[in-house]
Amino acid sequence: MTIKLYCMGESGNAYKAALALELSGLDWEPVYVDFFGGETRSEEFRKINVMGEVPVLVDGDTTLTQSGVMQMYITEKTGKFGGKDAAEQREVMRWVFWDNHKLSSQAGMTRFLMNFLPEDKRPTEVIPFMQGRLKAAYASLNTHLDGRDWIVGDGITNADISCCGYLFYPEPFGFDRKDWPHIDRWLSNIEATPGWKHPYDLMPGSPADRA
């Protein structure tokens, strides 16, 4: 049975699930959700996810929300991306939780404020504050990746798939790869992984579609 991923190309959290599905080799298909058209706030969508968010993964009778849970599910089905042993598994989860709290949550909000709100509604005092918090997160990740090809172990894991979620997007939000050489090298490793695709190539929906 084909797994359905309710998603949109502009969502970094959806990208984490979509990239894990694509690299896993599982049979899946994206289902476009018109976030900017208000679909996630509709009564029909709330029947799929009461939280009113993408992504949502549907595999037969199983419906999952939150990208980290979907990554765990993909690991359960395939044995991939979870770490080689208990110690690596804990370390993978440590970085997934860190990303959700310190990196993706800040990057997603800052990118939204800077690119998807009308200019006259952008909170000019909030954005620099968020970018300062992001800079601290980039520094933590860059330092960790010094001398490492991957965040955990010797191959791509859910830690990498989670932490890269927003870092391939072209819209400005205070991240430039060239400023963080170890992150840049790591992102190149991910790009070189067989099956890798940019979020706008992997999922439907991009700013160009709304231009």
Q: What is the pLDDT of residues 121-147, one digit of tens each?
A: 999 999 999 999 999 999 999 999 999
Q: What is the 3-state secondary structure (H, E, C) of 138-165?
A: HHHHHHHCCCCCCCCCCCCCHHHHHHCC
> Do the beta carbons of residue 88 and residue 153 sit within 8 Å?
yes
pTM: 0.97
Tokens of 200: 């706008």
Task: List, for residues 162-182, the tens digit of each pLDDT value.
Answer: 999 999 999 999 999 999 999
State the architecture of 3-81+197-210 in CATH terms. Answer: 3-Layer(aba) Sandwich (3.40)
Q: Where are the beta strands (DSSP E) in the chain?
A: 3-7, 28-32, 56-59, 62-65
Whole-number pLDDT of residue 210: 82
Residues 6+ apart with CB under 8 A from 75: 81, 82, 158
Residues 6+ positions from 58 with CB-CB distance below 8 Å: 3, 4, 5, 6, 48, 64
Taking domain 86-191, whether its CATH number is 1.20.1050.10 is answered by: yes
- Quote the tokens at residue 105: 């949550």
Q: Please state, in angstroms and rounded to a whole number, the distance separating the CA atoms of residues 129 and 134.
A: 9
What tens digit of pLDDT does each residue of 37-91 get?
A: 999 999 999 999 999 999 999 999 999 999 999 999 999 999 999 999 999 999 9
What residue spans define the domains of the chain?
A: 3-81+197-210, 86-191
Average pLDDT over residues 191-207: 97
Sheet containing strand 56-59, edge to edge, reads 28-32, 3-7, 56-59, 62-65
Answer yes or no: is pLDDT of 211 > 80.
no
pLDDT for the residue numbered 10: 97
Report, as an integer, the average pLDDT of 21-34.
98
